């Protein structure tokens, strides 16, 4: 597997992932755990951030200097499941802007269909944190990355809780410059395109839909 794939291992993440996998975990708890895991993944994705500025401040004790992030990333949600990660990402980077991509893989035409695309005006050259809880076939991720690149985005990092080996290989084939941060790599998908053992349909479990 490419060094662009970052599997974030931590006992806390393993503990939380077990609850996400459990079919008896209620939607309210599922949403909260997705947020908790997303915060940790965003933290990892921001560890190599270098665009900083130094400013003068004053503590209650003395004058000193502080660092501030310059040109923060744009947090982009692949709807609808990505919306479950968005608030968590923005809570970690509250000064970041956000965008939305509505895209799905149509099983009849065997291709991706985009139905919504909305980005901030100042996206040109900016780093993107692209949020989607699950990467299965990776068709939507590949299409979303292509769309963002065409729109002028800079470096793109994908934040995902679970990813299939096949999907990761597809991302690296079409977009070898993209980094992926995930909690676990799943080795199987079933005939319906669900990860095995996976955690089911993340969107349905987040929003209590079928």
- Residue 34 is part of a domain; what is its CATH number? 3.40.50.2020
Bond before 80 cis per omega within 30 degrees: yes
Q: What pLDDT was estimated at residue 1?
A: 73
Q: Which helix (H) or strand (E) holds 179?
A: strand 179-182
Evaluate if residue 182 carries a pLDDT over 70.
yes
Quote the pLDDT of residue 105. 76
Q: Give, for 85, the enclosing helix (H) or strand (E).
A: helix 83-92
Q: Are 53 and 76 in contact (CB under 8 A)?
A: no
pLDDT value of position 109? 65
Enclosing domain of residue 111:
5-207
Q: Note whether 166 and 186 are within 8 A (CB).
A: no
- Taking only the tens place, the pLDDT of each residue in 25-56 is 999 999 999 999 999 999 999 999 999 999 99
Over residues 138-164, mean pLDDT = 96
CA dist 7 and 188 (Å) reads 17
pLDDT at res. 175 = 97
CB-based contact 203:209 (threshold 8 Å): yes
Residue 209's pLDDT band, with cuts at 50, 70 and 90, is confident
Q: State how many domains the chain has.
A: 1
Cα dihedral 6→11→17→23 (10° resolution): 160
How far is Cα 207 from Cα 187, in angstroms, rounded to an integer?
Answer: 27
pLDDT, residue 9, reads: 92
pLDDT cut 70: percent of the chain above it = 98
Per-residue model confidence as pLDDT tens digits over 68-123: 999 999 999 999 899 999 999 999 999 999 999 998 877 666 678 898 999 999 89
Q: Across all residues in the chain, what is the average pLDDT?
A: 94
């Amino acid at each position: 597997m490419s060094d662009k794939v970052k599997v974030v291992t931590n006992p806390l993440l393993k503990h939380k992932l077990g609850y996400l996998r459990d079919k008896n975990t209620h939607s309210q708890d599922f949403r909260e755990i997705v947020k908790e895991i997303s915060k940790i993944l965003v933290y990892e994705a921001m560890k190599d951030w270098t665009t900083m500025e130094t400013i003068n401040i004053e503590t209650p004790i003395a004058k000193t200097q502080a660092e501030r992030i310059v040109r923060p990333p744009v947090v982009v949600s692949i709807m609808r499941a990505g919306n479950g990660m968005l608030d968590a990402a923005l809570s970690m980077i509250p000064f970041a802007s956000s965008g939305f991509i509505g895209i799905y893989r149509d099983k009849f035409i065997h291709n991706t269909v985009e139905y919504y695309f909305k980005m901030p005006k100042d996206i040109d050259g900016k780093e993107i944190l692209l949020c989607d809880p699950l990467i299965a076939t990776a068709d939507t991720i590949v299409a979303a990355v292509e769309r963002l690149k065409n729109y002028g985005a800079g470096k793109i990092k994908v934040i995902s809780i679970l990813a299939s080996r096949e999907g990761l290989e597809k991302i690296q084939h079409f977009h070898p410059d993209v980094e992926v941060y995930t909690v676990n790599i799943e080795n199987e998908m079933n005939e319906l395109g669900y990860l095995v053992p996976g955690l089911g349909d993340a969107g349905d479990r987040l929003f209590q839909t079928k």
